[in-house]
Structure 1
Amino acid sequence: MLSRSSLRAAIKISLAAALAGAWAVRFREVEFAWYPLLAVVMCMDETDTRVVAAVRARVLGTIAAGLVSFLVHTLLEGWIGVTVTLLIVVPLLRLLRWQAGLGTALVVSSMLFLVARYSELDWLYVFNRTADTLVGVVATLVVSGLFWPINRVAEMNAVERQLRRLMAERLETIRQQLKAPADPPASGPSTPADPAPIAGARLCQQLSQLVGDELRSNPDGPVKRQHWRQRSLLWERINHHSLQLQRLGQLLPAGALAADATPWLERLPQLLLSRGQAVAPLPQRSSLRRLAEARGLSPLLLLAFDDELQRLARSAQSLALASRHDGGAPMTAPR
């Protein structure tokens, strides 16, 4: 049974193909309906970014293949002309950094030499075939923009907001466990059956997939400028360190740190909600050792808890810097 996304994709490509085919049949200038329909098949995708990238690759590949094929055709014909054309087109596209149009260039070069009548392969013929391709490109852009447009950057922002809420709730659970045992948290500490660890890992994986998809489609787009790759990796680290912090906190007695000597616990849930501000001040290790001696706690356990907290705080600071510099400015590592 088709999923909703598969059904939407099928409807979109059918509408785009119908629109391009109707245009090709209506106007006599479009001699071959194959070119508009091929452009629809190669350019239509589920996301706006992918569609724009495929359109750019399709147009650039068609223009490069058409021009080189015309020049080579004046000297060579048949399979030798195709071979020479490909030997020129591939390095040319790589030199111009149009590698995305390689597939289109290979197809168009073969079609121009093996399908078209040789006497018609001139500048006008190349222009007409490019115009035929533009018909399919325009149909793809219209349908993609009007029917179920998908904005991956907005999805990434939504996933990041879910991660912030989830991590803040987890840190609040830790704070209540260690600071206020008389007032137990509503959700309780994490247990093996608790879905929170699974939810955090699933959100991190979803964010990583979205970022990778966008970077492959548009390497120099807003995903790169807004440091989404770094943010995705930092969220994975934050999820890991917060889980370790939660497990270590469960090994400490309830209310073990319920004292005025640990005011940083009050700001622990705000660690990921405030951008550019770290939880401060974090406890000094000497004070933790004194606290362990006064409360009869294991110094190694308390120092391990502090180590995870320090790692979590540094990751949160790096995440704040990555989220704040959206204009492409280089990030500076927190000290």
Structure 2
Amino acid sequence: MSAVPSVLSRSSLRAAIKITLAAALAGAWALRFSQVEFVWYPLLAVVMCMDETDTRVVAAARARVLGTIAAGLVSFLVHTLLEGWLGLTVTLLIVVPLLRLFKWQASLGTALVVSSMLFLVARYAELDALYVVNRTADTLVGVLATLIVNALFWPINRLGEMNAVERQLRQLMAQRLETIRQQLKGEPDAATAPPRPDPQPIAGGRLCQQLSQLVGDELRSNPDGPVRRQHWRQRSLLWERINHHSLQLQRLGLLLPQGALATEATPWLERLPQLLQTRASAISPLPHRANLRLVAEAKGLSPLLLLAFDDELQRLARSAQSLALASRRDGEQR
């Protein structure tokens, strides 16, 4: 339990250091350049662009710049006709549909803030085109400082992390399938048989959740990047299914006596631990599926239990085959 707070504290400390450095750099540049008249524009850009988890810095920076430009241009045009709260209302009625039209919804918050600052402060009554250009440049100072600090300090290779999590999932599932194989091929003598392991769903579920979060963050940050081309969204969902079906298979296997399927299941049982290591792999169903009743009577087992086990086995094999097909293009690119 103590490891979780330490990880969270390190992450929070790094986020605090990064936003402090970015704000210091943006403030220093703002004081250095005489064209930057209002220091809070770069600092506001740092606050709005630097993400605590470092997931959407580039997307937030793009939204900040686009929102500033759109709000500045529309405010300048409306300002020639209207002022005060009425001008702000008309500006928002134009800016919001305009950003939605160009699918820049992420810039709505920035456009709202910039439009309010331009119209609701008395000194901004002298708004002109040069003023809009200068305020956009002020924003770019903060955005550039954020991007530099984010790239230099603790950069995150999210694609590498996803590959690492997937390797952990393959290792965990291989161990789980090996446990199932040992259980089904073990000697039925209870005196010499090792104790049965209990299913451990927490580790697999945690890794699946971590992979899904990484994929979602990367897709939001870079929608058209390698994550989409390499089908990571589909692979994340398939890993969740594999974790579920392998866990169900393990639970059903624990209901069978040790060695119950050693004779009938030998052709596919030896390949079970390598199920996730082969491309487009498939497992044949339990032999003589129509004769499962006879097998169950001979072994003293429940036919429904064998049918349930076979059904979970086939679902697991199909999910593994789909995962192999989804990962094939990634393997070819490597």
Q: Provide TM-score, normalisation by structure 1.
A: 0.88
- Partner secondary structure for residue 117 of structure 1: helix
Q: Which residue of 2 aligns with 1:132?
A: 138
State the alpha-carbon separation in 1 of the partners of residues 144 and 285 from structure 2: 57
- Partner secondary structure for residue 170 of structure 2: helix
Contact kept, 8 Å, 1:173 with 1:189, in 2: the verdict is: no
The alpha-carbon distance between structure 1 residues 54 and 261, as it changes in their structure 2 partners (threshold 3 A), is closer
Displacement of 1:304: 1.4
Q: Which residue of 2 aligns with 1:331?
A: none
The alpha-carbon distance between structure 1 residues 78 and 158, as it changes in their structure 2 partners (threshold 3 A), is same
Asked whether 1:10 is paired with 2:1, we answer: no
Contact kept, 8 Å, 1:47 with 1:149, in 2: the verdict is: no
Paired residue type of 2:248: Q
Q: Which residue of 1 aligns with 2:28?
A: 22
Deviating more after overlay: 18-27 vs 274-283:
274-283
Q: Which residue of 1 aligns with 2:197?
A: 190
Which of 35, 39, 45 is the aligned partner of 2:41?
35
Contact kept, 8 Å, 2:64 with 2:107, in 1: the verdict is: yes
Q: Which residue of 2 aligns with 1:243?
A: 247
Deviating more after overlay: 306-315 vs 119-128:
119-128
State the alpha-carbon separation in 2 of the partners of residues 167 and 220 from structure 1: 30
1:186-229 Cα offsets, whole Å, 9 max, x none, are 996422xx6x3221122222223333333444444443443333
State the alpha-carbon separation in 2 of the partners of residues 187 and 74 from structure 1: 85
Contact kept, 8 Å, 2:279 with 2:324, in 1: the verdict is: yes
Contact kept, 8 Å, 1:211 with 1:228, in 2: the verdict is: yes
Contact kept, 8 Å, 2:15 with 2:53, in 1: the verdict is: no
Asked whether 1:57 is paired with 2:70, we answer: no
State the alpha-carbon separation in 1 of the partners of residues 248 and 326 from structure 2: 23
Q: Which residue of 1 aligns with 2:271?
A: 267
Paired residue type of 2:218: E
Q: Which residue of 1 aligns with 2:155?
A: 149
Instruction: Within 5 Å, give how 1:163-174 maps onto structure 2.
Output: 163-174=169-180
RMSD after superposition: 2.6
The alpha-carbon distance between structure 1 residues 116 and 264, as it changes in their structure 2 partners (threshold 3 A), is farther
Which of 219, 226, 232 is the aligned partner of 1:228?
232
Contact kept, 8 Å, 1:270 with 1:279, in 2: the verdict is: no
- Report the identity percentage: 84
Q: Which residue of 1 aligns with 2:166?
A: 160
State the alpha-carbon separation in 2 of the partners of residues 25 and 116 from structure 1: 23
* Structure 1 residue ranges without an equivalent (≥5): 328-335
Q: Provide TM-score, normalisation by structure 2.
A: 0.88
1:249-285 Cα offsets, whole Å, 9 max, x none, are 1121211222276311111111112232223576451
State the alpha-carbon separation in 2 of the partners of residues 189 and 272 from structure 1: 23
The alpha-carbon distance between structure 1 residues 137 and 156, as it changes in their structure 2 partners (threshold 3 A), is same
Contact kept, 8 Å, 1:47 with 1:151, in 2: the verdict is: no
Contact kept, 8 Å, 1:68 with 1:88, in 2: the verdict is: yes
Q: Which residue of 2 aligns with 1:212?
A: 216
Instruction: Within 5 Å, give how 1:72-151 maps onto structure 2.
Output: 72-115=78-121, 117-118=123-124, 120-151=126-157
Which of 161, 174, 183 is the aligned partner of 1:177?
183
The alpha-carbon distance between structure 1 residues 181 and 261, as it changes in their structure 2 partners (threshold 3 A), is same
